[in-house]
Amino acid sequence: MWSELGQRAVPVAPKDEPAAPGFLRVEGLSKSFVAGKPVFAGVSFTLDRGEFVCIIGHSGCGKTTILNVLAGLDTASGGHVFMDGRELAGPSLERGVVFQSHALMPWLTVRKNIAFAVESRWPQWKPAAVNAHVEKFVAMVGLSAAIDKKPSQLSGGMKQRVGIARAFAIQPKMLLLDEPFGALDALTRGTIQDELMSIVRETRQTVFMITHDVDEAILLADRILLMSNGNEGPNGYTPAGIAEVVANTLPRERKRAGLHHLPGYYELRNHIVDFLVTRAHAGP
């Protein structure tokens, strides 16, 4: 199915047709803090194994709550989440989470921050095996020279790299990213985005990521979920939900620096921006 944009077209996955069963299945998810007025409702989507999916929407639509439910850090008011054929219940080392704030333990070095997670994942491992595993993932994010430094000695970008290395080091079945680059400067952000893409390709990781950056979503994602806001309209309150699922048909081997040269980039970007500006707040 195609969504018309002027005289051109942007590929859009049909939202009314059921998706094939995937590695992750979210079915009819809802969350209410006030009875009878859910923040979001009827949220359903799938992720295939090895797929990178971004979700975009305005603040307050419930993106982080959805991610926290997937992480097992929050509970939904309704609906179900299945991963690899089993319903999720509570946090698990099968799901790695990276937040906007790095969440490192300030009294531990980079090595020990990551080793703590690795030892939790594989308590039977000997120290030498843990250390070799830690060093591998620290090298993967380019921080070998800082492996024995504490977080206070690192820049913001370096701290986020440690968080990413820690999440990958436990080899989760799925990675959950909550705006992990939101507080970084543009140059650092671009560098880490490219590194993340390389690592994801190498590990074939399944990723669900929240972002407010349209170009970031286009760079990283195979598909982009566009989320509407809850809205008071003439027919009453409409909760937030997934309004569209947009397929990213740009070549998968892409870099941020050359993104705007790729055929179809501007059509895709304009479609998403148009949604955020004119349609995300639309009522019933």
Domains of the chain (ranges, CATH numbers)? 2-87+206-279 (3.40.50.300)
Residue range 10-32: mean pLDDT, rounded: 66
Residue range 166-185: mean pLDDT, rounded: 87
Among the listed residues 106, 130, 134, the one whose alpha carbon sits nearest the alpha carbon of residue 119? 130
Residue 18 has pLDDT above 80, yes or no: no
Residue range 210-231: mean pLDDT, rounded: 93
pLDDT level of residue 187 (50, 70, 90 thresholds) = confident
Query: How confident is the model at residue 230, as a pLDDT?
Result: 85
Low-confidence winner among 56-65, 69-78, 238-247, 252-261 (lowest mean pLDDT): 252-261
**Model's pTM, two decimal places?**
0.85
Rounded (10°) angle between helices 156-169 and 186-203: 10
Backbone dihedral angles phi then psi of residue 137, each to the nearest 5 degrees: -80, -30
Query: How confident is the model at residue 184, as a pLDDT?
Result: 76
Alpha carbons 160 and 221: distance in angstroms, whole number? 19
